[in-house]
Amino acid sequence: DVKVTQSSRYLVKRTGEKVFLECVQDMDHENMFWYRQDPGLGLRLIYFSYDVKMKEKGDIPEGYSVSREKKERFSLILESASTNQTSMYLCASSFGRDLNEQFFGPGTRLTVL
């Protein structure tokens, strides 16, 4: 059974703080993804990674960076958090290049004050 875990369920930070969101998967998946989920906007891809140390920008990368030092772990970094980054952040992973299903984590609700 695929398990994708995220380090925090809820997180409250202040404007300007550096924020780390961690995601770990235990199924040896090559691909990992970070999305933000906002009402009326759906899921928007921030960054994804298809291998260790490899990353590609998604649709809304501004204000974010990522790190993938190990295959099982994909970190999302907010260098200087802003109030417009208050959102639900979802991590997902998938195997290979084809039609394989994306498996999602439980999400991290980030509030930036």
Least distance CB 59 / another protein (angstroms): 8
49-53 contacts, C-beta under 8 A, 24 or more apart: 49/74
Contact 111, 19 (CB under 8 A): no
104 part of the interface to another protein, by CB under 8 A: yes
| 36-66 as b/e: b if 16+ CB within 10 A | beeeeeeeebbbbbeeeeebeebeeeeebeb
Q: Give φ, ψ of 84 to 5 degrees.
A: -75, 0
94 part of the interface to another protein, by CB under 8 A: yes
- Segment 50 to 79, residues that bind another protein, using CB under 8 A: 50, 56, 58-59
107 part of the interface to another protein, by CB under 8 A: yes
16 part of the interface to another protein, by CB under 8 A: no
Nearer to another protein, 81 or 107 (CB): 107
**In this chain, which of 41, 70, 82, 113 binds another protein, going by CB under 8 A?**
41
Residues near another protein, by CB under 8 A: 4, 30-31, 33, 35, 40-45, 48, 50, 56, 58-59, 90, 92, 94, 96-107
